[in-house]
Homo-oligomer: A and B are copies of this chain.
Amino acid sequence: MMRTRPLKVALLGCGVVGSEVARIMTTHADDLAARIGAPVELAGVAVRRPDRVRAGIDPALVTTDATALVKRGDIDVVIEVIGGIEPARTLITTAFEHGASVVSANKALLAQDGAALHAAAAEQGRDLYYEAAVAGAIPLIRPLRESLAGDKVNRVLGIVNGTTNFILDKMDSTGAGYQEALDEATALGYAEADPTADVEGFDAAAKAAILAGIAFHTRVRLDDVHREGMTEVTAADFASARGMGCTIKLLAICERAVDGASVTARVHPAMIPLSHPLANVRGAYNAVFVESDAAGQLMFYGPGAGGAPTASAVLGDLVAVCRNKLGGAHGFGESAYAALPVSSMGEVVTRYHISLDVADKPGVLAQVATVFAEHGVSIDTVRQQGKDGEASLVVVTHRASDAALQGTVEALRTLDTVRGVASIMRVEGE
Contact = CB atoms under 8 A, between A and B. Distances in A.
**Which of A35, A146, A315, A330 is the most central at the interface, judged by chain B CB atoms within 10 Å of its CB?**
A146
A139 B146 CA distance: 9
Contacts of A32: 150
Contacts of A142: 139, 142-143, 146-147
Contacts of A280: 277, 280
Interface stretch (A90-98, A303-311, A345-353): A303-311
Contacts of A317: 150
A329 B325 CA distance: 10
Nearest to A298: B302
A99 B81 CA distance: 42
| Size range of the chain A interface in the assembly | 35 or more
Contacts of A313: 147, 295
A417 interface: no
Contacts of A328: 328-329
**Which of A295, A306, A313 is the most central at the interface, judged by chain B CB atoms within 10 Å of its CB?**
A295
A376 to B, nearest CB: 34
A328 B315 CA distance: 24
Contacts of A335: 34-35
B320 A294 contact: no
A20 interface: yes
A26 interface: no
A303 to B, nearest CB: 5
A324 interface: yes
A327 interface: yes
A34 B152 CA distance: 13
A131 B299 CA distance: 16
Contacts of A314: 150
A294 B311 CA distance: 7
Contacts of A329: 324, 327-330
Count the copies. Answer: 2
Given A151-B316, A312-B148, A295 B299 contact: no
A24 interface: yes
A301 interface: yes
A183 interface: no
A152 B27 CA distance: 11
A45 to B, nearest CB: 17
B148 A143 contact: no
Contacts of A151: 24, 312, 315-316
B296 A299 contact: no
A298 B150 contact: no
Contacts of A277: 280, 301
Contacts of A294: 20, 24, 137, 308-309, 311-312, 315
Contacts of A24: 150-151, 293-294
Interface string A337-367: 1100000000000000000000000000000
Closest 10 pairs (CB-CB, A-B): A150-B315, A329-B329, A139-B147, A137-B295, A294-B312, A149-B319, A139-B143, A295-B312, A298-B302, A299-B301
22 contacts: A24-B150, A24-B293, A31-B152, A34-B337, A34-B338, A139-B139, A139-B147, A143-B147, A146-B319, A150-B315, A151-B315, A294-B312, A294-B315, A295-B309, A295-B313, A296-B303, A298-B300, A298-B302, A299-B300, A299-B301, A301-B301, A328-B328
